[in-house]
A and B are shown apart, each in its own frame.
Chain A
């Protein structure tokens, strides 16, 4: 059983749509990361959160520690948002060496 599950695996949206990507985990964590990987491969950190909600531009990340669930929302989606979004968690009591990654959600936004 994967300790970090993302859904959906693939998502196609029309430009302007509101998008939600989900991440569920089965272990105790100290922090959760949302990463973005563009075609061509580079990975960029979008958010790191341990509670509540964070917002950056059109991106919003939320986490519910009790329910072991996080969501990444994209408002007013744009084709440039097309990428793979990866959820990763730091194990409770662990270091950065104890990061566990989800398999990613591939998002395609059509114009």
Chain B
């Protein structure tokens, strides 16, 4: 069974940093592109970042480029999102998702940016 489990969310002050993790199991993690997608409270889905299976290609939404860094460790079956210079507009549930045409989602982790 495919499982994606996010962790690392929480309350952070504006300007602060947070590192999200996603632990994958039930499939060959190193064979798939991976993504972070977020959803602000009461809003729709917003793509944040993607990384190819070998980390050779990385993409970011304009809204996070220069502040967020996606990475992965295929040996540990893990995906990461380092988030710096957080603003209130980054408040959202962050989902880890498999494949460019998303096939599986994690349960999400809530990031709240507030003073």
A, B from the same assembly: no
Residues of B with Cβ closer than 8 Å to A?
none
- Give the interface of A toward B (CB within 8 A): none
